[in-house]
A and B are shown apart, each in its own frame.
Chain A
Amino acid sequence: MLKINKLNVGVDDKNILNNINLEINKGELHVIMGRNGTGKSTLSNIITGKDGYNIGGGEVLYKNKNLLDMSTEDRALEGIFMSFQYPVSIPGLNTMHFLRTSVNSIRKHQNKEEYSSGEFIKVFKEKLAIVGLDESFAKRSVNDGFSGGEKKRFEILQMLLIEPKLVILDETDSGLDIDALRIVANGINNFKSKNNSFLLITHYYRIIEYLNPDFVHVLLDVKIVKSGDQKLALKLEENGYGWLKK
């Protein structure tokens, strides 16, 4: 699904990611952990195509296509989805209208039939229940005045509606209370299948416990310094990052 080879990334003169190698296959869930400011969000921005980075070398392949040549929009249309760490609010833009536009652009691109307004309301309500949001959400503006928890659930709602192939969860668990975390994790587990892939960026073991990842990677000082399985995450939770110093 996603293959990153020897990727180097900088902003201005600063090196942010160095020699990153990562391969995520269909049906896998990978976790990236690491201290603040070690380039975790940069990695998700590079995969989704945000401007402002210099690619110093290496390649990123998605379904064997060069991802770095594609626009953000095309990547989304091809099935890449990111749950944002800080979703922006768009005052005045109705959530339903936004979601339907988004879902239908992607369905159209993937030669699936676009939802009529009636069909969409049905699917919308169904998924809304999964993330535990009530129907008054249909009348609000995108992320406008949402609480932290509502924003994260709204991201997961979008994932469920869009049905992407590769999902990046950028600190989707941050700022969630215990109940909300369980709901969000359930939403993810519900959708996870043999045909899609996940990359979760997180600081905490709790969500990992819910999601049972296949691989855990530690990003420290611009590099992936260690990879392992769920046990690695548990060890980090108990001992911190100190023991990993070169």
Chain B
Amino acid sequence: MDKVKRTKKQLTDISSSEYKYGFKTNIEEERLPNGLNEDIIKSISKIKNEPKWLLDFRLKSYEKWKKMKEPNWQNLKYPKIDFNEICYYSSPKKKKLKSLDEVDPELLKTYDKLGIPLDEQKMLSNVAVDAVFDSVSIATTFKDTLKKAGVIFCSFSEAVIKYPDLIKKYLGTVIPSSDNYYAALNSAVFSDGSFVYIPKNTKCPMELSTYFRINAANTGQFERTLIIADDNSYVSYLEGCTAPMRDENQLHAAIVELITLDNAEIKYSTVQNWYPGDKNGKGGIYNFVTKRGHCKGNNSKISWTQIETGSSLTWKYPSCVLKGDNSIGEFYSVALSNNYQQADTGTKMIHLGKNTKSTIISKGISAGHGQQTYRGQVKIMKNAINSRNFSQCDSILIGSNCGAHTQPYINIKNSSSKIEHEATTSKIGEDQLFYCNQRGISTENAISLIINGFCKDVFKKLPMEFAIEAQKLMEISLEGCSVG
């Protein structure tokens, strides 16, 4: 197939993709009634043409969920969520807009500040894309390259149909549905997500990103991602996009499971910038996410890097289970809470294998009335001899109405392992800003200089363009901040 034809086919695939979810003609309004019960779950499964084993998985998860209690140990304050008032499936494609004129001008302003080109702005704002749109051809060439390498990268729903054996083998093995309340909920109602499989002895030829996989851009509120790196393989995966996705959904409960076999490595980077609510704390996403990686093989490595600037509530602890001997787990995090945002985030490093190593670098930034909690657990089991952990948790406060809290839990069950923990809390002071102002640097620039300096150790772990965008994103998120 020549390139033009291929692009055309790709376009047809994309433009028709919204129909494949449909069972009514009016796609834009397709949604299941609010509420959660067996019938709803059966409908979701039916819409997605799922095999019976997956429906059973969902129903079992739902049974477990019903018996579980909502966690209340986190340092987050919010009104009780009524799970029967939520719609668990609506058409994943939002209403298409005819032109950029129909897009919220505030959103466009932000895109401009982020330096996102016009065509991409159209795509991000869900304006119908036309044939000349670059990303389409990118997506096409991209798929070819991956196919040659033997890498599987597709939506979760597609994987269920095409690669049922892989899904059956690994689904829920890292995060069982009984793991926690929100994991059980996700397991019962998940709508879509990404699936990645890197075959043995393969270095994935490019960084994978949900951003380029257009048809998975709007996977809805209960995403499920599964990434498997087979022996001697490597993949770097970028989740999310730095542009603000003004999702209307209130509750997000996603699951990400990572598995590395012998000598494999997964690097997972996230920029989470969901709607944070307005200046007065009205609206915004509740983000309850369970992310965990299983370093199953010897000498394997999983590295989480996250930049969390969005959502009104963040409840998220990307973790590593270091089962293989000599395996390595890493967690690099920047979390920012401005206005009335609250974040309770951190990691768990569970050392099971010998000579396992973990590193935790967490940077929390609170401004306005924002509240930040770092919550982390380092557990070194009896057989994990000669294991190491290094943790550094720093917080910075901007203004005097915000808060920072650090809750590290440490548990070592053998005597040959070592743990180091460092923590600092500092405040951007009026003196620092006065100093910068006296040198001709505006308050806004000064805050962003100070914050970028503070986050440096984490930003440098991000892929290059991501790091630059993350910096810009911090600037935007802190706009209009005051220290008073």
Contact = CB atoms under 8 A, between A and B. Distances in A.
Interface of A: 48-51, 71-73, 75-77, 81-82, 84, 87-88, 90-94, 97-98, 101-102, 105-106, 109, 141, 158, 162
B435 interface: yes
B440 A76 contact: yes
Interface stretch (B146-154, B280-288, B299-307, B445-453): B445-453
A106 B436 CA distance: 12
Contacts of A109: 440
A34 B434 CA distance: 25
A94 B438 contact: no
Contacts of A162: 439-440
Nearest to B363: A92
Given A88-B429, A90-B432, A91-B426, A71 B437 contact: yes
B441 A105 contact: yes
Nearest to A108: B440
A88 B453 contact: no
Nearest to A48: B438
B434 A50 contact: yes
A48 B431 CA distance: 13
Q: How large is the interface on B (under 10, 10 to 19, 20 to 34, 35 or more residues)?
A: 20 to 34
Contacts of B434: 50-51, 72
B96 interface: no
Given A93-B450, A97-B449, A101-B449, A88 B438 contact: no
Contacts of A94: 453
Contact of A82 (B438, B449, B452, B454): B438
A162 B439 CA distance: 8
Contacts of A72: 434, 437-438
A92 B442 contact: no
Contacts of A158: 439
Nearest to A98: B449
Interface in B352-385: none
Task: Choose among B429, B430, B434, B456 the residue with the greatest number of A CB atoms under 10 Å from its CB.
Answer: B434
A92 B456 contact: yes
A93 B438 contact: no
Contacts of B431: 88
A73 B440 contact: yes
A197 to B, nearest CB: 17
Q: Which 5 A-B pairs have the closest CB atoms?
A: A92-B453, A93-B453, A102-B439, A72-B437, A76-B440
Contact of A141 (B429, B437, B445, B453): B453
B404 to A, nearest CB: 15
Chain B interface, >50% SS class: helix
A76 B449 contact: no
A11 to B, nearest CB: 15
Interface of B: 426, 429-432, 434-443, 445, 449-450, 452-454, 456
Given A50-B434, A72-B434, A105 B450 contact: no
Nearest to A82: B438
Contacts of B436: 90, 98, 102
Given A73-B440, A97-B449, 9 more contacts: A75-B438, A84-B435, A88-B429, A97-B453, A102-B436, A102-B441, A105-B440, A141-B453, A162-B440
B443 to A, nearest CB: 8
A113 B441 CA distance: 17
Nearest to A110: B440
A139 to B, nearest CB: 12
Task: Choose among A75, A82, A102 the residue with the greatest number of B CB atoms under 10 Å from its CB.
Answer: A102
Nearest to A104: B440
Task: Choose among A48, A87, A92 the residue with the greatest number of B CB atoms under 10 Å from its CB.
Answer: A92
B438 A81 contact: yes
A112 B456 CA distance: 31
A51 B440 CA distance: 16
Given A88-B431, A91-B426, A76 B439 contact: yes
A194 B452 CA distance: 40
A87 B452 CA distance: 20
B460 to A, nearest CB: 12
A55 B358 CA distance: 57
Contacts of B442: 73, 105
A82 B431 CA distance: 14
Contacts of B443: 73
A84 B439 CA distance: 11
A71 B440 CA distance: 10
A106 B426 CA distance: 29
A92 B334 CA distance: 14
Task: Choose among B436, B438, B450, B453 the residue with the greatest number of A CB atoms under 10 Å from its CB.
Answer: B438
Given A51-B430, A72-B434, A88-B429, A93 B439 contact: no
Contact of A90 (B430, B440, B453): B453
Task: Choose among B439, B440, B445, B454 the residue with the greatest number of A CB atoms under 10 Å from its CB.
Answer: B440
A225 to B, nearest CB: 29
Contacts of A71: 437
Contact of A87 (B426, B435, B441): B435
A76 to B, nearest CB: 4
Contacts of A97: 449, 453
